[in-house]
Amino acid sequence: MSDTERNWHSHRDAKAARLANAASLLDGKFAKTKDAKAVLETLLSSGDKVVLEGDNQKQASFLSQTLASVDPAKIHDLHMIMSSVSRPEHLDIFEDGIASKLDFSFAGPQSTRISQMIADGTLKIGDIHTYLELYARLYIDLIPNVVLVAADKVDHEGNLYTGANTEETPVIVESAAFHDGIVIVQANEIVDKVPRVDIPGDWVDVVIPADEPYQLEPLFTRDPQNITELQILMGMMAIRGIYERHNVQSVNHGVGFNTAAIELLLPTYGDQLGLKGKIVPNWEVNPTPTLIPAIESGWIKSIHSFGGEVGMEQYIAARPDIFFVGPDGTMRSNRAFGQMAGQYALDMFVGSTLQIDQYGNSSTVTKGRLSGFGGAPNMGSNPTGRRHSTPAWQSLKPKDDPLGRGQKLVVQMVETFGSNKRPVFVDHLDAEEVQKEAKLANVPIMIYSEDTTHIVTEEGIAYLYKTDSMAERQAAIEAIAGVTPVGMRSTEKELADLRRRGIVALPEDLGVRRTDAKRSLLAAQNMEDLVTWSHGLYNPPAKFRSWS
């Protein structure tokens, strides 16, 4: 076949044909709620690559329920691409044969069931990704045929307002809209004019008003009441031994209680140390309410967010100097840009994990639970493509290498034993077993040893970046691993040597008094305190309103 005979727009023709088939169900771009199932059965084809929007917080729940209701005789063996597998129907579609293959990033809430379904052969995993990686593949080898996304408001032209929880809608829609994929949107509300245009209407093919607003969870809200003194002690050590010592200016915090403790210690303990104005003005982080005291007391200058957080809307709208807020006055988030910023522009990532092995590799994948990792590996890795320098990055530069360069600080904060009293430090990660069970190409490690620069436990800090060999790295980990089987290998003599060489620091080496680790040191003791700090602008979701 010569070039002149070849059809160079076959994708566009196929899309036009599908939309033509659905013409009777559409009024312009708009379909009726009751026709949603028929719309999907008409526009989808068996074997399609389909992106279903499901972030951590925001779920295209109307479309996912509708997808689970289609006739598997008509639509089957879809290849689903989903950053987050959160809702039961996300997996029901595999049991019913509507879908057969899954590429994903995070499956926390469904991690046990997904493990079982892989073992049973009900579901075939393409791969586990970081968020950024999964978005990247939408433009290379996972170009979607159809994308199913959620919007707050849609105007009559099909312009979308995605509001505070814009999250991953733009990156998904763009991959389809510019490669002849079909963009289907569920809308909370159809309006005459959207507050701002987050997605232009000419990128959108079909809008379906949803029967109820999309699911949105306050997933990252941590009640200060549940922060323990052990977490406070670790937070104090981290502030002195890492934030201050490395002059850290920009940071991403994971979403556990350890980092919530640090956020609430900055305005108190950090202030006592005279660090205000000297450390962490710039953040890439979800807008969690435990940040409010540090913002109000002038510690934090800017925050870019991956997504929104329920209850924070009014507070954020009133602080446009700090957050990324549109001309309409509400926050804009963009998960892809957030992950990019978190990977390339930060001095430091501080997170937590469920297991760390004797070499310093960590994973949240544990026996029978294939949780995936979301964005942690983007933030929690040293981007070797980085070229700009900052004091913190430069402080990790090896001394003896003329071509040496800095490194991102990647900090894991864990208690030596989990709340279930199982050791966090183990010789071998459960993930090694899970790899075999789930037939994965690689062991699902969240953060590799080579990227991990510091580990903080209640025992002390291991400065892993200072170690010269794997044996020394193991000794440093053992020294702070408490009475776990890994920690029991450490001797007093080894510990003394590591302390002398500055590879391990105990609280007393950092000038941290254990008796100062009291809950009264937190800038807010409970949710009510956070509301007070916010001048009444923070509106906690019902499940966090235990005091009233």
Whose Cβ is closer to other proteins: residue 79's or residue 454's?
454
Least CB distance from residue 33 to other proteins, whole Å? 47
SS3 104: strand
- Strand-strand pairing, 160-161 and 182-190: unpaired
Whose Cβ is closer to other proteins: residue 199's or residue 522's?
522
Write out the binding residues for other proteins, residues 71-110 only, by CB under 8 A. Answer: none
Under a CB-based contact definition with an 8 Å cutoff, are residues 215 and 63 in contact? no
Among 397, 439, 501, 513, binds other proteins (CB under 8 A): 513
Binding footprint of other proteins, residue count (CB under 8 A):
21
Distance CA 383, CA 522 (A): 34
Q: Does residue 229 touch other proteins according to CB under 8 A? A: yes
Query: Vertex 84, ends 83 and 87: CA angle to 5°?
Result: 145
Query: Which residue matches tokens 């933030």?
Result: 379
Whose Cβ is closer to other proteins: residue 391's or residue 418's?
418
Q: Does residue 230 touch other proteins according to CB under 8 A? A: yes
- Token couple for 532: 């007070």
Whose Cβ is closer to other proteins: residue 55's or residue 458's?
458
Distance CA 540, CA 530 (A): 9
Write out the binding residues for other proteins, residues 420-449 only, by CB under 8 A. Answer: 421
- Window contacting other proteins (CB under 8 A); options: 31-39, 189-197, 223-231, 435-443: 223-231
Helix (H) or strand (E) holding 355: strand 355-357
Among 329, 391, 418, 511, binds other proteins (CB under 8 A): 418
Whose Cβ is closer to other proteins: residue 525's or residue 539's?
525
User: 253: which strand partners?
Assistant: 350
Among 46, 116, 228, 297, binds other proteins (CB under 8 A): 228
User: 49: which strand partners?
Assistant: 79
Q: Does residue 419 touch other proteins according to CB under 8 A? A: yes
* Per-residue interface string for the shown chain with other proteins, residues 453-492, x marking contact by CB under 8 A: ----xxx----------------------xx----x---x
Under a CB-based contact definition with an 8 Å cutoff, are residues 427 and 384 in contact? no
Distance CA 449, CA 465 (A): 10
Which residues neighbour 393 within 8 Å (Cβ) at sequence distance 6 or greater? 347, 386, 406, 407, 408, 409
Terminal Cα distance for the chain, rounded: 75
Least CB distance from residue 493 to other proteins, whole Å? 11
- Strand-strand pairing, 26-27 and 30-31: antiparallel
- Window contacting other proteins (CB under 8 A); options: 229-237, 344-352, 380-388, 390-398: 229-237
Among 175, 286, 416, 474, binds other proteins (CB under 8 A): 416
Whose Cβ is closer to other proteins: residue 2's or residue 419's?
419
Q: Does residue 255 touch other proteins according to CB under 8 A? A: no
Q: Does residue 220 touch other proteins according to CB under 8 A? A: no
Under a CB-based contact definition with an 8 Å cutoff, are residues 523 and 270 in contact? no
Cα 411 → chain centroid:
16
Whose Cβ is closer to other proteins: residue 4's or residue 515's?
515
Whose Cβ is closer to other proteins: residue 223's or residue 415's?
415
Least CB distance from residue 230 to other proteins, whole Å? 5
Amino acid identity at 447: I
Under a CB-based contact definition with an 8 Å cutoff, are residues 378 and 344 in contact? no
Whose Cβ is closer to other proteins: residue 10's or residue 226's?
226
Whose Cβ is closer to other proteins: residue 205's or residue 415's?
415
Under a CB-based contact definition with an 8 Å cutoff, are residues 163 and 310 in contact? no
Least CB distance from residue 517 to other proteins, whole Å? 7
Integer CA distances (angstroms), 314 to 299, 311, 380, 450, in order: 20, 8, 31, 41
Least CB distance from residue 415 to other proteins, whole Å? 5
Whose Cβ is closer to other proteins: residue 20's or residue 483's?
483
- Window contacting other proteins (CB under 8 A); options: 117-125, 320-328, 410-418, 519-527: 410-418
Which residues neighbour 248 within 8 Å (Cβ) at sequence distance 6 or greater? 242, 279, 280, 347, 348, 392, 409
Distance CA 389, CA 221 (A): 33
Distance CA 236, CA 514 (A): 9
Write out the binding residues for other proteins, residues 516-545 only, by CB under 8 A. Answer: 517
Whose Cβ is closer to other proteins: residue 53's or residue 459's?
459
Backbone angles phi, psi at 343, to 5 degrees: -80, -45
Distance CA 462, CA 454 (A): 6
- Window contacting other proteins (CB under 8 A); options: 54-62, 87-95, 178-186, 511-519: 511-519
- Window contacting other proteins (CB under 8 A); options: 124-132, 322-330, 392-400, 412-420: 412-420
- Token couple for 328: 């309409």
DSSP state of 473: H
Whose Cβ is closer to other proteins: residue 278's or residue 514's?
514
- Window contacting other proteins (CB under 8 A); options: 110-118, 167-175, 314-322, 512-520: 512-520
- Window contacting other proteins (CB under 8 A); options: 99-107, 143-151, 222-230, 275-283: 222-230
- Window contacting other proteins (CB under 8 A); options: 27-35, 260-268, 387-395, 507-515: 507-515
Burial class (CB in 10 A: 0-12, 13-18, 19+), 165: buried
- Window contacting other proteins (CB under 8 A); options: 271-279, 303-311, 436-444, 452-460: 452-460
Give the residues lining the site for other proteins (CB under 8 A). Answer: 228-230, 233, 415-419, 421, 457-459, 482-483, 488, 492, 513-515, 517
